[in-house]
């Protein structure tokens, strides 16, 4: 294995751990969302760290956990989660989410979360702000009435 591949693998693992630590800190500080969630939607899920932590903290094993990301390879299979490859700004992606919700009997997500970083290394500050704005719009569409939206 070449040095470049080892370095990329190291940084991917480090990014996942950093994401998980950030969500863990938020959950520990407020202690009000991960343990009671039955349904979770992770937007721009790239490494899958947040959704993996959310699944591990769920009290209820039933429910629905979806990770959505634009790129096909970043989300590795996570037991208990469904991965969608798609652009969160498109109607097609929303339809995929709605279809999975219908199949699982979920009317709204207890948590909609987004780590706040684009998986595109060329993303500008404007791109980041646009994705956060789109995530907020999606949360108003997909959150359950007492649901929680989390972003960093």
Catalytic residues, by residue number, are 152
CA distance 119 to 135: 15
For residue 40, what are the β-bridge partners?
65, 111
Query: Which residue from 116, 113, 149 is spatially nearest to 132, judged by alpha carbons?
Result: 116
Token pair 């789109």: residue: 134
- Nearest-5° angle of CA 25, CA 28, CA 29? 85
User: How big, in percent rounded to 5, are the helix, strand and coil portions of the chain?
Assistant: 45, 20, 35
In the sheet that holds 64-69, the strands lie side by side as 82-85, 64-69, 39-43, 109-114, 143-151
């Amino acid at each position: 294995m070449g040095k470049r591949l080892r370095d990329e693998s190291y940084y991917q693992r480090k990014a996942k751990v950093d994401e998980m630590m950030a969500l863990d800190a938020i959950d520990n500080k407020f202690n009000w969302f991960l343990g009671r969630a039955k349904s979770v939607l992770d937007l721009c899920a790239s490494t899958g760290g947040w959704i993996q932590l959310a699944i591990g903290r769920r009290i209820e094993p039933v429910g629905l956990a979806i990770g959505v990301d634009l790129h096909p390879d970043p989300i590795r299979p996570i037991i208990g989660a469904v991965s969608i490859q798609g652009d969160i700004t498109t109607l097609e992606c929303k339809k995929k989410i709605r279809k999975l919700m219908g199949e699982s009997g979920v009317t709204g997500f207890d948590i909609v979360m987004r780590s706040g970083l684009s998986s595109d290394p060329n993303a500008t500050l404007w791109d980041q702000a646009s994705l956060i704005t789109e995530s907020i719009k999606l949360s108003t569409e997909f959150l359950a009435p007492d649901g929680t939206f989390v972003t960093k």
